[in-house]
Structure formats: structure tokens, C-alpha cells
Amino acid sequence: MNKSRVSCLVVDSGPFIKGVALQDWSKTVYTIRDVISEIKDSETRQRLQILPYELILREPSQEYIKHEDTLFYSWFLHWKEATEE
């Protein structure tokens, strides 16, 4: 399936746990250290060690964190997953 690519992605733990091929969506993937800390299962932690893209860790200031954007992205991933089946 031909996916639309975006300039960058900012992701929570869900896509990592589900094994989403984030490299199909963007070459640049960002997250925060707390997200990595949330991941407890060994399979996902092992996948994080061999990602086919660079995972960039950042700590944004609170003024740039918008709860609505996080909710939208989470919904979007679930919607895309459902439409690809």
C-alpha cells in the first residue's frame, strides 16, 4: 500500500508496542525518554534496539505539548490500521 509520508512523526509507546513500520510514514521519528521507559516487554525493547530508522529522543517544553494532538494521532493510527486490513 502506498502511504503518504510526512516530514516527521512524534510518537507515543503504542506504535512501538504494536510494531508499526514508522519508517513507511516518515524518515524522522521523535519520542521522549518517558515513552521508552513505558515499554516493559522484552520483544518490543528488542525491536527498539534494531529499528530501521533513527529514533530521535527529545524533551519538549510544556508549551509545545498539546493533549488534543496526541489524542488525534492515536486515533489516526488506529484508523489507518483498521483500513489496511
Asked whether residue 35 is assigned to any structural domain, the reply reads yes
pLDDT of 71 over the 80 cut: no
pLDDT of 1 over the 50 cut: no
pLDDT digits (tens, 9 = 90+) for 72-82: 566 566 656 66
Domain that holds residue 22: 9-84
Q: Which residue has the higher pLDDT, 37 or 83?
A: 37
Asked whether residue 21 is assigned to any structural domain, the reply reads yes
Output b/e per residue, 14-39; b: 16+ Cβ within 10 A: ebbeeebebeebbebbebbeebeeee
Which residue, among 31, 35, 75, has the nearest Cα to 22 in the 3D structure? 31
Asked whether residue 19 is assigned to any structural domain, the reply reads yes
- The residues near 25 (Cβ < 8 Å, ≥ 6 apart) are 3, 4, 5, 6, 9
pLDDT digits (tens, 9 = 90+) for 22-55: 999 888 899 989 899 999 999 999 999 999 999 9
Asked whether residue 2 is assigned to any structural domain, the reply reads no
Asked whether residue 4 is assigned to any structural domain, the reply reads no
Please tell me the predicted confidence (pLDDT) of residue 8: 85
Asked whether residue 74 is assigned to any structural domain, the reply reads yes
Contact call for residues 12 and 70 (beta carbons, < 8 A): yes
Domain count, the chain: 1
Q: Which residue has the higher pLDDT, 84 or 56?
A: 56
Asked whether residue 44 is assigned to any structural domain, the reply reads yes
Please tell me the predicted confidence (pLDDT) of residue 73: 60
Asked whether residue 79 is assigned to any structural domain, the reply reads yes
